[in-house]
Amino acid sequence: MSKAIVIFNPAKVREVDPFKESLGKVAQENGFELEYIETAEEDPGFEMAAQAREAKPDLVIVAGGDGTVRVVTTELRETGIPVAILPAGTTNLLARNLGISMNMDEAIQTAFAGRTLKFDLVKVTLGQGKDPKYFTGMAGVGIDAEVMHGVEDKLKKLVGPGAYVMSFLQQVGSSPCRVKVTIDDTRVLKRKTTLLMVGNTAELTGGVKLFPEADPTDGSLELLLGAPTGFASWLKVIGGVLTGKRKNQEMEYFTGKKFTVEIAQPTVWEMDGDAEEPAQSWTFEVLPGALSVCAGELSESK
């Protein structure tokens, strides 16, 4: 019999017993025995993923929000262990980009019957003496990070994704800052921006494609630079994103394998929706095929 380790966030999986019952039934049907490991408030999954890495199971299943999913998947990088995602958070961006259903029962079926995909990972280097960080989907410096910093867990539970909209409205009007971006160690850009994002995956909540050309299996990354400063210019950006029109005077897109970003003042940033401590320089570098993940039905553009 094959073995699967299930790492789950009990704060997100609210009905644990029914969850285990449903998962256990499908696992048995597919010839798997399960071992459960809970995350903790003080550890979103680092130690739990380390235990799974040491055990070398046939499959790791992670159930939780984007934070839990990011920690577990990235900690299992370059192990070859397939990781299946059961979405239990507010936005569930990686699950959406993998074509995984937001219905838990359907997602459980995909965990055992979905195809395994070699998925790119992004390594973030912040400076000498600092451990690198990793993410799977998107990262941002500037207003989107301010939005993440402004969202409280209590508000997310009350209004869901609407909490991000409320936080965004508080940030409109932010002043642009000067940034220097080096693409693949060769091309240098100098801009004034309020929006800087790096994308490995394409979609936001609701199927909106922020990075229409992003493909997390092609060994490259997308960069978005923009300098909207008021409602009118932000409406142009939002309109461009919703319609998929990349040609917009408020937005610039670039493709590369490595982006080095430098800013004069410490600035907040986020990765996969998690707010991070301020920094002044970042190197975003793709690690092709570093993850093995279970995918559902993906669109043709993926």
Going by pLDDT thresholds of 50, 70 and 90, the confidence category of residue 256 is: very high
- Residue 285: per-residue pLDDT: 99
For residue 255, give every residue at least 6 positions away whose Cβ sits within 8 Å of its Cβ, in sequence order, or none: 213, 220, 221, 222, 223
Q: What phi and psi, each to the nearest 5 degrees, are found at residue 238?
A: -60, -40
Which pLDDT does position 300 carry in this prediction?
42
pLDDT at 148: 58
Domains along the chain?
2-113 (3.40.50.10330), 122-288 (2.60.200.40)
State the DSSP H helix or E strand holding residue 282, giving kind and residue range, or none if neither.
strand 274-295
Specify the pTM.
0.86
> Residue 161 pLDDT > 70, yes or no?
no
Identify the CA nearest to 110 among candidates 120, 96, 127.
96
Does residue 174 carry a pLDDT above 90? no
pLDDT at 301: 40
- Average pLDDT value over all residues in the chain: 87
Q: Dump strand ranges (E) for 42-113.
A: 59-64, 83-87
Distances (CA, A) of 222 to 140, 243, 284, 285: 12, 18, 10, 11
With a cut of 80, say whether residue 245 has pLDDT above it: no
What was the pLDDT predicted at 87? Answer: 96
At 142, list the tokens.
């500037």
Which one, of 9, 5, 72, 62, lies nearest residue 32 by Cα?
5
In the chain, the amino acid numbered 198 is: V
CA distance 138 to 124: 11
Q: 227 or 202: whose pLDDT is higher?
A: 202
In 3D space, the residue among 138, 170, 142 whose CA is nearest the CA of residue 155 turns out to be 170
Average pLDDT over residues 115-129: 92
Find, among 88, 121, 109, the residue nearest to 8 by Cα: 88
Q: Which pLDDT value is given to residue 114?
A: 81
Task: Decide: 237 and 133 in contact? Cβ < 8 Å.
Answer: no
User: Could you tell me whether strands 32-38 and 2-8 are parallel, antiparallel, or unpaired per DSSP bridges?
Assistant: parallel
At 155, the pLDDT band (50, 70, 90 cuts) reads very low
Confidence class of residue 167 from pLDDT cuts 50, 70 and 90? very low
In this predicted model, which residue has the larger pLDDT, 108 or 89? 108
The confidence score (pLDDT) of residue 299 equals 46
pLDDT digits (tens, 9 = 90+) for 32-84: 999 999 999 999 999 999 999 999 999 999 999 999 999 999 999 999 999 99
* Lowest-confidence pick of 180-194, 209-223, 238-252: 238-252
- The partner residues of 7 in beta bridges, in order of sequence, read 37, 62
Q: What is the pLDDT of residue 222?
A: 98
**Residues of 283-295 as b/e, b for ≥16 C-beta within 10 angstroms?**
bbbbbeebbbbbb
